[in-house]
Amino acid sequence: MTAQEADEITPEQRSLLRRAVGAAAIGNTTEWYDFGVYAYVASYVGHQFFPGPWETVSAFGVFAISFLLRPLGSLFFGPLGDRIGRQRVLAVTILLMSGSTFVLGLLPNFDTIGIFAPILLLLCRMLQGFSTGGEYGGAATYIAEYAPTRKRGFYGSWLEFGTLTGFGLGALVPTLLILGLPAEAMESWGWRVPFLIAGPLGLIGLYLRSKLEDTPAFKDLEHTGNIARSPLKTLFRQHLRPLLLVFGIVILINIANYTILTYMETYLAQTLNVPEGQEQQVLVPLLLAVVLMMLLVTPAGALSDRVGRKPMFLSAAICFVVLPIPAFLLIAQGSMITTLLGLALLGVGHVQLIGPLAATLPAMFPTKVRYGAFSIAYNISTAVFGGTAPLINDSITSTGNTFFPAYYLMGAAVVAMVPILMMKETARTPLSQGDERDSAAAPAS
């Protein structure tokens, strides 16, 4: 009996499940720690590597370019995970991901080596993007295949708890440094410290993952000899419709993720005209909003086990149509309290998306192509709409259109409603290797 075949699991299975969830989630923590750090020190990165009038835009440009490597990473690591197993690939991705972030903290700046500085920065970010292309899809697949069917939303939500924890740490560490160090020290060496912390985080994740076996579903696949010899060929021939549905849903997830978590610090600092030395006006509300989402994300995942994934996703899309304008009106008032209230409104929609995410989208594919299918659809959408979100938002809001991020979120929500309405409910879909039907291709329930 696997963990997917029963909702009543033994204490030994529960312990194994918790370790599997923790090992998978720490990779997401490391990934989003990097994103949080980069977002919070983007202006310092701009100063160090792109001296000139377009420092911050150039830094976000590198952020966006690195996302172009994510689809390539998913095309490489995803099918590999479907052939040799989830655990082995996830051990490699966390090592590459954390290592490239660590090296970034050691790079010499433009004043030291000239044009080679931004080139090396770009290479580090590209390696980070390439390895990340195999990280989230694998981690979500890993947790989903371990979790009991009727509690998959709850256990899967811990992956997103790792996301928010990583971003929270990525925001907290630079915040403490900015508030605690003189401006000269922060500019000189302080900005490097958060990147260097990624090294130990990655080693902890590598250790935890090396101690786990592969998922029951994949081991069943190995035992029956049903592993796809050419996962990519099988994927695009037989599962194009669910690939497109995932791509469309992830448009909203990514624009929300990278607008709220990655871009908002820069947006608040610029649009609220926060004076130097008063950064806490921006950083404190953001950190509190992240804490609020951390408190809500696992209840949201558990709720999806009861009411279904589709109603949760649809509710989230409606929230992102209705709430962004009031949220940005509150933020525009300029006080910490109104800024926090505005961010909280955005967070209400966001937790409804990310809470059920890891339990929902992998379930749209059979085991033999699940890692590759979800990784490829997710990362292509992320490359197009996620990595570019901070750059697009910053480029347009800098012209004076300070409500553009709200319109961007609303447009993404309208687009995502189409695939959400077309998707099949997956809350009761068992993730066993014998379930080879294309669950997402069935008529919408």
In tens, the pLDDT along 181-193 reads 898 999 899 999 9
- What was the pLDDT predicted at 15? 81
Taking CA atoms, 12 is separated from 86, 273, 412, in Å, by: 21, 55, 43
- What was the pLDDT predicted at 299? 96
Element (H, E) at 7: none
- CA atoms of 87 and 139, how far apart (whole Å): 9
> Is 243's pLDDT higher than 70?
yes
- What was the pLDDT predicted at 298? 95
- CA atoms of 65 and 440, how far apart (whole Å): 31
- CA atoms of 60 and 226, how far apart (whole Å): 43
- CA atoms of 279 and 270, how far apart (whole Å): 11
pLDDT digit string (tens) for 27-62? 889 888 987 788 778 888 888 888 776 676 777 778
- CA atoms of 355 and 388, how far apart (whole Å): 23
- What was the pLDDT predicted at 267? 86
pLDDT band (50, 70, 90) for residue 279: low
Q: How many CA atoms lie within 13 A of 355 on its CB side?
A: 32
- What was the pLDDT predicted at 198? 92
Chain mean position to CA 46: 23
Q: How many CA atoms lie within 13 A of 377 on its CB side?
A: 25
Q: What is the DSSP string of 279-346?
A: THHHHHHHHHHHHHHHHHHHHHHHHHHHH-HHHHHHHHHHHHHHSHHHHHHHHTT-SHHHHHHHHHHH
Residue 441 DSSP symbol: G
Q: Is residue 399 within 8 Å of 161, Cβ to Cβ?
A: no
- CA atoms of 347 and 39, how far apart (whole Å): 18
Judged by DSSP in three states, 1 sits in coil
Looking at residues 424-433, what average pLDDT do you find? 78
Percent of the chain with pLDDT over 70: 91
pLDDT band (50, 70, 90) for residue 297: very high
pLDDT digit string (tens) for 248-257? 999 999 999 9
Catalogue all structural domains in the chain, each as residue range(s) with its CATH number: 11-441 (1.20.1250.20)
Looking at residues 276-292, what average pLDDT do you find? 78
> How many CB atoms neighbour CB 53 within 10 A?
8
Rg (CA), the chain: 21
- CA atoms of 53 and 198, how far apart (whole Å): 30
Q: Which residue has the higher pLDDT, 433 or 243?
A: 243
> How many CB atoms neighbour CB 385 within 10 A?
23
Give residues with Cβ within 8 angstroms of 9, minimum separation 6. 3, 17, 148
Q: Residue 397 has which token pair? A: 């809001």
pLDDT digit string (tens) for 303-321? 999 999 999 999 999 999 9
Whole-model pTM over 0.75: yes
Q: What is the mean pLDDT of the chain?
A: 86
CA–CA–CA angle 298, 373, 296 (5° rounding): 10
Q: Please return the burial class of 128, using the count of CB atoms within 10 Å of its CB with bins 0-12, 13-18 and 19+.
A: buried
Q: Is residue 270 within 8 Å of 126, Cβ to Cβ?
A: no
Q: Which of 165, 344, 395, 136 is nearest to 246 (CA)?
A: 136
pLDDT digit string (tens) for 168-226? 898 889 888 988 889 899 989 999 999 999 999 999 989 988 888 888 888 888 777 77
